[in-house]
Amino acid sequence: MRVIVRTVSELCITVGSVIVLFVVYVLFWTGVKADDVMDDQIELLQEQWAQPSAPPAAAGSSTASTASPPKPAPYAKGKPFAIMYIPRLGFTWNKPVLEGTATGTLKKGLGHYAETAQLGRKGNFAVAGHRRTYGDPFKDFPQLRRGDAVVLTDGTTWFTYRIDKGPYKTVPSDIEVIDPVPRTSGYTRPGRYLTLTTCEPEWGHSHRLIVWAHLDSTQPVEAGKPEALRR
């Protein structure tokens, strides 16, 4: 009987230790690794943006005066293309935005729904992020309020969006929240919108939290940071 009790006790201690180590891994180590990865993605973007751009077309060119503005190139799957700032979540809060919402992509930062509009363009630019684990990018998502700024840059332009509605709770199957004119957003006609999505509850994924915003202003990066990012 003593052997059985001792064996069971040792087994319980072992299982308990494994559970504690797993919790530490989920709460701490994945966050540390994710922060490093996100920092690397931002550094990669900043290095790309620091490279000299192609020279403009020669003045007087016959094509320069007649050609329509070029269509923006598609974003590369799994690669970063912008940085997002949300002052409500802290003036040091900034995350890379990558193309796609695959599991591996969301471990590196926020993910752009590839089927939605590009940044600043007509339509709905929709972005997803983890609520918990992998850096907890949207841990404080419920704090977002109407009027809050969501600022993004693609290295050439600052885009300032203003939240109009949310956080709105819905189910994962409610994919209409990222439509060009999002359902239940309050918008009634096409525009330049932003949708942010994350999981609800904090440690689960049975529901989703949504906020919607409209493009409020843009300015070139040469003009300095937008007002929303000035302390």
In the block, which residue shows the tokens 């529901």?
Answer: 207
d(CA 10, CA 168): 47
Burial 101-124 (b: 16+ CB within 10 A, else e): beeebbbbbbbbbeebbbbbeebb
User: Looking at residue 7, what is its pLDDT?
Assistant: 72
Q: What percent of the chain has pLDDT over 90?
A: 72
| pLDDT higher than 70, residue 67 | no
Q: Which pLDDT does position 31 carry in this prediction?
A: 63
Q: What six digits make up the tokens of 197?
A: 């999505």
> pLDDT averaged over the chain?
87
Of the pLDDT bands very low, low, confident and very high (cuts 50, 70, 90), residue 34 is confident
The yes-or-no answer on residue 112 being catalytic is no
* AA letter at 196: L
pLDDT, tens only, 111-156: 999 999 999 999 999 999 999 989 999 999 999 999 999 999 999 9
Is the separation of the CB atoms in 41 and 106 below 8 Å? no
Q: Tell me whether residue 130 is one of the annotated catalytic residues.
A: yes
List, for residues 7-22, the tens digit of each pLDDT value.
766 676 766 555 545 5
Q: Active-site residue among 112, 130, 205, 207?
A: 130
Could you read off the pLDDT of 177-189 as tens digits, one per residue? 999 999 899 999 9
Mean pLDDT value across residues 50-71: 54
148: Cβ–Cβ under 8 A, 6 or more apart, which residues? 86, 87, 88, 162, 163
Considering only residues 215 and 14, tell me which one the structure prediction assigns the higher pLDDT. 215
Of 12, 199, 207, 214, which one is the catalytic site residue? Answer: 199
Q: Which two tokens stand for residue 163?
A: 């939240």
Residue 226: pLDDT above 80? yes
User: Across residues 195-202, what is the average pLDDT?
Assistant: 97
CATH 2.60.40.1930 fits 1-51+76-231, yes or no: no
CA 57 vs. chain centroid, Å, equals 34
Q: Does pLDDT of 59 surpass 60?
A: no
Angle at 74 between CA 68 and CA 77, to 5 degrees: 175
